[in-house]
Amino acid sequence: MTLRGERQADFAYQAVYRYMINLINEVSTDTRVKLPSLRQLAGRLNVSISTVQYAYSLLEKEGRVYSVAKSGYYAWPLSANPLAGTSGDPLDRLYAAARRPGMVVLSGDEPALLASLDGTLLRLERELVRQYPRYLQPWSQPCGVWELRAALAARYTSSPTRCWQADDVYIGPDLRGVLDILIEVLGLRGAPVIVESPCDWLVLRLLQDAGVRVIELPWTPDGRLDLVNLDHLLSAESVRLVLLSSRVSLPAGVSMPPQDRLALAQLLDQYGCWLLENDTFGELGFDEPQAALRELVNPERLMVFSSFEKVLGSEAPYGYLLSRRMNNELQRHFLLRSFRLSPIRQRAIARLYHSGRIDQHLRGLRLQLRLQADEMCERLDRDLSDQMTYRAPAAGAAFWLRSIRTVDMRQVFQRLLSQQVVIAPGELFSVNGLHQQHLRLSHTFQGQPDLNVVLAALSEALRQAQMG
């Protein structure tokens, strides 16, 4: 094919662009596909390299292709192109966008991005491999290795009446796997469950997919839970389970006042309701931690879940559950799932707890998180004070922002994606359409491009998305 002799009304790059669109459509699959180089296309189409370069730059701006240094251009997989339209599930599009190279991902809440123990874990594993030859390792420990279960039981024990044993601890491949089993064991399908709102989208999606009737209990702007409404719900509904954060509720970033915690524990005891405590961020508060809810409620109607990943990093994705009841059912379901978890890695994590390395790491991580949050406060006050309000977070790695004016937050999300910036719109944190004017914005921005540019893009997107 040659482009010489194309209609004179067309610039050469437009013809190259149309050719490339057809080529991308032909090769589009769910895996990435390398496209012809600049030199190859220039020779094939009989045009200059600069003409091909310009056509590729247009395609890159439109999100149809991406470049890899010293490798060339690639077509986006169909499933990973968040710019293919404005409809569809925002969470699916967020996940797809966050996986793309070159994106500024400010949608998550990943504290360990500032400091992980991945390298330490790998060094410990090498030491442990020499101490535990493969032939001495049991091939299956469906609930997790004893060393790690015992370490967690000791960490969560606070008194003779609020104590845990290794047999009360269950470890799964990730948080999703643990919560799937919990939903099954508790028989929550079709049952009403009260959940604080906003709530982590993973938890919400799992409950939704299981057919759980989610009743949202929103946090108020001044950082309180409406306990009068909770009392009404517990009396009017056959609620068996309430899901709340242990110390700090994220993404709202608020900590319940002590008097509210005590009143909440009394309400749960009055109605004989179980507490499922989310302790994912329980050790990541910036200030001296308040007593966790589990220290106030009836321990016989308590379950706690968490994950190592937020503290240790991506090399420790395991989720875990603590429960003093329903042991036989939990053990049976873990056995049926036949999770094959690395015993060496679990033992390495246990070593971190026994040696005190976890506590040392947490002290440094909390300090870094606080400093990053303070810096983000300054930037938000300077660049977005007339457009968004927020409460400074008490834990974690993200801010929960609310637009002062009514905006189409999906449009904001889409506009920023087109500029290679990923935020998390507030609707993801509700199943009933709450938080439409909110967004979550990470403050673990070390190593990111100029944050001033990102905040300017957010400001412009909010301005253009105003409604009414």
> In the structure, what pLDDT confidence band is assigned to residue 139 with cuts at 50, 70 and 90?
low
- Residue 254: in which H helix or E strand, if any? strand 254-255
Give the chain's end-to-end CA distance (angstroms, integer). Answer: 51
Q: DSSP class of residue 404?
A: S
CATH of 117-355, one of 3.40.640.10, 3.40.50.261, 3.60.21.10, 1.10.1200.10: 3.40.640.10
| C-alpha dihedral sign at 399, 402, 403, 407 | positive
**What mean pLDDT is predicted for residues 13-42?**
78
C-alpha separations of 157 from 147, 166, 244, 412, 454 in Å: 16, 11, 20, 45, 44
Rounded Cα gap, residues 369 and 248, in angstroms: 14
Task: Tell whether the model's pLDDT for residue 416 goes beyond 50.
Answer: yes
**What mean pLDDT is predicted for residues 64-93?**
68
The reported pLDDT for the residue numbered 441 is: 96
Token representation of residue 244:
């709340």
The reported pLDDT for the residue numbered 54 is: 79
Name residue 114's amino acid.
L
The reported pLDDT for the residue numbered 7 is: 38
Asked which of 42-56, 234-248, 369-383 is least confident by mean pLDDT, the reply is 42-56
The residue written with tokens 């991506």 in the block is 314
Task: Tell whether the model's pLDDT for residue 27 goes beyond 80.
Answer: no
**What mean pLDDT is predicted for residues 322-329?**
95
Rounded Cα gap, residues 448 and 452, in angstroms: 11
Going from N- to C-terminal start, the domains of the chain cover 12-75, 90-108+361-465, 117-355
Task: Tell whether the model's pLDDT for residue 1 goes beyond 50.
Answer: no
More confident position, 29 or 468: 468
Reported pTM: 0.81
Task: Tell whether the model's pLDDT for residue 418 goes beyond 60.
Answer: yes
Q: Is 408 helix (H, G, I), strand (E, B) or coil?
A: coil
Which residues make beta-bridge pairs with 442? 398
Residue 312, CA atoms < 13 Å, CB-side half-sphere: 25
The reported pLDDT for the residue numbered 68 is: 77
Q: DSSP class of residue 400?
A: E
Tell me the DSSP string of 194-225: EEEES--HHHHHHHHHTT-EEEEEEBPTTS-B
Rounded Cα gap, residues 279 and 308, in angstroms: 10
- 72-95 burial, b for 16+ CB within 10 Å, e for fewer? ebebbbeebbbbeeeeeebbebbe
The reported pLDDT for the residue numbered 52 is: 87
- The reply to whether 117-355 shares the fold of 90-108+361-465 is no
Q: What is the pLDDT of residues 370-414, one digit of tens each?
A: 999 999 999 999 999 999 999 999 999 999 999 999 999 999 999
Task: Tell whether the model's pLDDT for residue 157 goes beyond 90.
Answer: yes
The share of the chain scoring above pLDDT 70, in percent, equals: 89
CATH number of 90-108+361-465: 3.90.1150.10
Among candidates 304, 276, 297, which has minimal Cα distance to 155?
Answer: 304
> In the structure, what pLDDT confidence band is assigned to residue 136 with cuts at 50, 70 and 90?
low
The reported pLDDT for the residue numbered 244 is: 97
CATH number of 12-75: 1.10.10.10
Rounded Cα gap, residues 177 and 254, in angstroms: 27
